Amino acid sequence: MPPVYSQTQLLIIGGGPGGYVAAIRAAQLGLKVTLVEGKRLGGTCLNVGCIPSKALIHAAEAFAQAREQAYGRSELGISVSSAQLDLSKTIAWKDGIVAKLTGGVGALLKKHGVTVVQGWAEVIDGKTVEITQPGAEAGDSPQRIQCEHLLLAAGSQEIELPFLPFGGGHGRVVSSTEALSFADVPQHLVVVGGGYIGLELGTVWRKLGAEVTVVEAQDRILPAYDADLVKPVAQSLTKLGIKLLTAHRVEGLNADGTALTVRDPQGALLELPADKILVAVGRKPRTSGWGLEHLMLDMAGRAVKVDAQCRTSMKNVWAIGDLTGEPLLAHRAMAQGELVAEVIAGHNRRFEPASIPAVCFTDPEIVVAGHTPASAEAEGAKHGFKVLQALFPFAANGRALSLEAPEGFVRVVARADNHFILGWQAVGAAVSELSAAFGLSLEMGARLEDVAHTIHSHPTLGEAVQEACLRALGQALHI
């Protein structure tokens, strides 16, 4: 049967954070928009990433606190008779949050007049995409959509180790997707990878009752973050009873698939029995399985290469989000999606953010924005300026003490000559909520004096932001 064609101005492949934001903004600007999504709106972030994992992190912390109270360990004078976990109810609650948010995305797209096509896209050329819809039969006419502009927002996928494939070991080996919906709390969970995904989920299942071992090939966990930020996290993991095996190399499964084999730094082979093995060694752009190769675009390694307006090497073909490489962050994809919509509509926009804050939702949390001390020193050496830094510990913050969370600090990095703020880092309870202040100060080109002389509410964790700047100026008040 010959294809059935339809026309649109902007065709978006992928309904994740970048794709759906681009669709909404383009529709607001008067463009005719069609969005194609093979699974569920919201992409990895809403369905099997950011949102469900943070929901489980909250549930696990609530259960851990209840257990502390049941064992009479609370210093607040609170005690309960027992703490029980109904995991099926916990998972249902998490799934309910996901359903509410993905349903909200669908409602927003409908409200703005975006045409949503449920199906799998196959790129034919830079102007044409063929859709395979669920339930389509062999004799059905294929649906093809032609467009003026094609936006690629296919996202990313988990990296699978060839010697440890997902589903191996009689279903023991899982990705982060399966680790969000275990039917039962594992007796022993082994996490391969000491990055933020592995540590977030490892902490969840430890707090829910599993024995957890983390295996990391490098000599410390969270190798992308500096040692000062990682230290409180490592101490917390040890206190929780999570076993950390750093500088250990994974070999694969043992003969009967019931244990993970690893080599320690001395070369000795160890077996780690596990009923679940979570492989969390990172993600990669989703570049295969939907015809991207037909466009023959310029690539940057495994990612699609784009310019400061998210244009690819083919005219009127655009790419955003994880497909374009690091950092693989939903809020980056959203910002790029909004930008592309506006550029197509004739606005003058470029994607050149002063910073893209990144958060690790471990216990305690880590947030970084802009330059680290090391990268700032490198810039200073290159451009001839000196760098100063200062930190303020949460142990001297009244709100942190009242939250039983004195661990961690806020650190500011700035130029020594003009006090221009270059970057922020923080580790501590709920510091993810400080990321907006960090990003705003960097985008506004703030100096130490701007933040130090802004009145901050008391008592709040945000006071540590002000105090770090005061300390950098030699005006520390509470330390």
195 is in an annotated binding site: yes
User: By CB neighbour count within 10 A (0-12 exposed, 13-18 middle, 19+ buried), where does 133 fall?
Assistant: middle
103 is in an annotated binding site: no
127-130 contacts, C-beta under 8 A, 24 or more apart: 127/316, 129/11, 129/13, 129/36, 130/3
The C-alpha atoms of residue 306 and residue 304 are separated, in whole angstroms, by 6
Q: How many CB atoms lie within 10 A of CB 233?
A: 24
Closest CA to 213 of 224, 203, 222: 203
The C-alpha atoms of residue 203 and residue 197 are separated, in whole angstroms, by 10
Could you tell me the sign of the dihedral formed by the alpha carbons of 24, 27, 29, 32, in that order? positive
Q: Which residues are catalytic?
A: 458
282 is in an annotated binding site: yes
Angle at the Cα of 360 (from 356 to 364), degrees rounded to 5? 135
299 sits in which H/E element: strand 299-300
CB 151 within 8 A of CB 314: no
| Total residues found in the chain within this entry | 479
Asked whether the bond before 459 is cis by omega within 30 degrees of 0, the reply is yes
| Structure letter (DSSP) for residue 114 | P
196 is in an annotated binding site: yes
71 is in an annotated binding site: no
CB 37 within 8 A of CB 15: yes
The C-alpha atoms of residue 287 and residue 292 are separated, in whole angstroms, by 6
351-366 core/surface letters (b: 16 or more CB in 10 A; e: else) = beebbbbbbbbbbbbb
The C-alpha atoms of residue 304 and residue 323 are separated, in whole angstroms, by 6
193 is in an annotated binding site: yes
User: By CB neighbour count within 10 A (0-12 exposed, 13-18 middle, 19+ buried), where does 430 fall?
Assistant: middle
Could you tell me the sign of the dihedral formed by the alpha carbons of 102, 39, 51, 319, in that order? negative
In sequence order, the 6+-apart residues with CB closer than 8 A to the CB of 223 are 194, 195, 216
207 is in an annotated binding site: no
328 is in an annotated binding site: no
Q: How many CA atoms lie within 13 A of 368 on its CB side?
A: 16
Take residue 428 and report the two structure tokens written for it: 């501590």
Take residue 384 and report the two structure tokens written for it: 């001839």
5 is in an annotated binding site: no
Q: Residue type at 409?
A: F
Q: Residue type at 174?
A: V
Residue 34 in 3-state DSSP? strand
Output the known binding site for NAD(+): 193-200, 216, 282
Output the known binding site: 54, 193-200, 216, 282, 322
Output the known binding site for FAD: 54, 322
